Amino acid sequence: MPATSHSREQRGHDDAPDTTAAFARLRTLAEGPEYDALRHDLVAQWLPMAQRLALKYRNRGAETDDLYQVAAMGLVKAVDRYEVTRGPFEAYAIPTINGELKRHFRDALWAVHVPRRVQDIRNKVRVARQELKATQPGEPTVAELAARCGLDEQDVRDGLEALDSFKSLSLEAETRAEGGDGVNRLSLTDTLGATDPGFDAVIDREAIKPALKALPERESRILYMRFFNDMTQHQIATALGISQMHVSRLLNSTCARLRDEALAERRVGAA
């Protein structure tokens, strides 16, 4: 058996060239054109191995080209840091490349920030779900996933929720909604609710509560009759035994005072 074939058989992969002599020579060279050329050649020879490692992560939501690029970056780091005395290059490079790929998933691909602990749980839940779905029909239950992962059920729920946090959808992404006319195709934007204008009224009422409590009894009563009992100015004037003009002046002055006090309170809160 030729020496090169025996070397590859020991490594177990056809993408693991024998570059021990090249690395030994690289470490004797000073930085310059010759060093750069040999370094580039070593990276090129080991690049198929890096790509093979990248493909192991291809079904996890990342683009294959991005995985190739990250794996290549890990390979370059391994080539730059490797010393022949550390043993076979492959044994040193594989953990380095895998580390770069895992960091890429951990730090660069999450659309929503998820704590590291939950990311780890998510990975366990993802693997357990794939294994259970391969051996049984239907979607595994939370209890089944918990037993498979050795986690409690709340952790499994957190992991399942994190599965949906890995990628975000565009607001223009199409969704389906069933209605009286069958299935309607809508964008996510169409399903978003609008701000309820009633919230502003609640905020305004809360802002003027102190000023309302400080009103004289007659002004307070007039406001209540006008805005809560929906009485006209004429009806209020008749009930109180005063002129409609007087009721109008009191309403205008009271509302202006409440508005000024609410605005002053808001300016104080903003400061």
The most distant pair of C-alpha atoms in the chain lies apart, rounded to whole Å, by 119
Q: Do domains 3-107 and 110-169 have the same CATH topology?
A: no
SS3 186: strand
Positions of the chain with pLDDT under 70:
1-14, 59-61, 106-116, 118-119, 163-204, 265-271
pLDDT recorded at residue 259: 82
Domain 110-169: CATH architecture, name and number where available = Orthogonal Bundle (1.10)
Half-sphere exposure of 7 (CA within 13 A, CB side): 12
pLDDT recorded at residue 1: 37
In the chain, what are the domain boundaries? 3-107, 110-169, 199-270
Please give the Cα distance from 77 to 64 (Å, whole number): 20
CA distances from 87 to 14, 44, 148, 177 (A): 19, 20, 37, 60
Say which CATH topology domain 3-107 has. Answer: Rna Polymerase Sigma Factor; Chain: A (1.10.1740)
The secondary structure element, H or E, covering residue 2 is none
Please give the Cα distance from 171 to 113 (Å, whole number): 19
pLDDT recorded at residue 194: 63
pLDDT recorded at residue 129: 85
Task: Name, in order, each residue with C-beta under 8 angstroms of 266's C-beta and a sequence gap of 6 or more.
Answer: 207
**Cβ–Cβ contacts within 10 Å for residue 17, how many?**
20
Residue closest to 67 by CA, chosen among 50, 91, 88, 79: 50
Q: Are 125 and 145 in contact (CB under 8 A)?
A: yes
**Cβ–Cβ contacts within 10 Å for residue 260, how many?**
11
List pLDDT tens digits, range 46-98: 999 999 999 888 766 677 888 899 999 999 999 999 988 888 999 999 999 99
Domain 199-270: CATH architecture, name and number where available = Orthogonal Bundle (1.10)
